[in-house]
Amino acid sequence: EAGVAQSPRYKIIEKRQSVAFWCNPISGHATLYWYQQILGQGPKLLIQFQNNGVVDDSQLPKDRFSAERLKGVDSTLKIQPAKLEDSAVYLCASSLTRTPGWETQYFGPGTRLLVL
């Protein structure tokens, strides 16, 4: 079974530029998550989708970050414009279903973003 796919793996941009990350979850997984992991910290949830609807985006800086999952499969996370503090690894994860139970989240390899 193929895992969670993400691209690009690395991205270097200058501040105020825009950038987009792509994620393809494990086939059949209804729930998709985007996390931001700053160096030396644990991942922090940015947004959670159930199929193509947003479940939780309370920690997404909506003035510059946006995300969509139009057909309930793959997803795009965008930053526009980027700031220096956005330098981080952006992890995508998916799980089979939101309820019931404590379903495991499976993570992709991440995209390492450096903002200069």
Partner 1 sequence: AQKITQTQPGMFVQEKEAVTLDCTYDTSDQSYGLFWYKQPSSGEMIFLIYQGSYDEQNATEGRYSLNFQKARKSANLVISASQLGDSAMYFCAMREQGSARQLTFGSGTQLTVLP
Task: Determine if 89 is a binding residue for partner 1 (CB under 8 A).
Answer: yes
Strand, helix or coil at 35? strand
The answer to whether 87 and 113 are in contact (CB under 8 A) is yes
The answer to whether 79 and 90 are in contact (CB under 8 A) is no
Task: Determine if 102 is a binding residue for partner 1 (CB under 8 A).
Answer: yes
Going 108 to 110 to 7 to 50, the CA torsion angle's sign is positive
Task: Determine if 78 is a binding residue for partner 1 (CB under 8 A).
Answer: no
Task: Determine if 108 is a binding residue for partner 1 (CB under 8 A).
Answer: yes
Binding to partner 1 (CB under 8 A): which residues in 11-70?
Answer: 33, 40-45, 48, 55-56, 58
Where on the chain is the footprint of partner 1 (CB under 8 A)? 33, 40-45, 48, 55-56, 58, 89, 91, 93, 98-99, 102, 104-110, 112
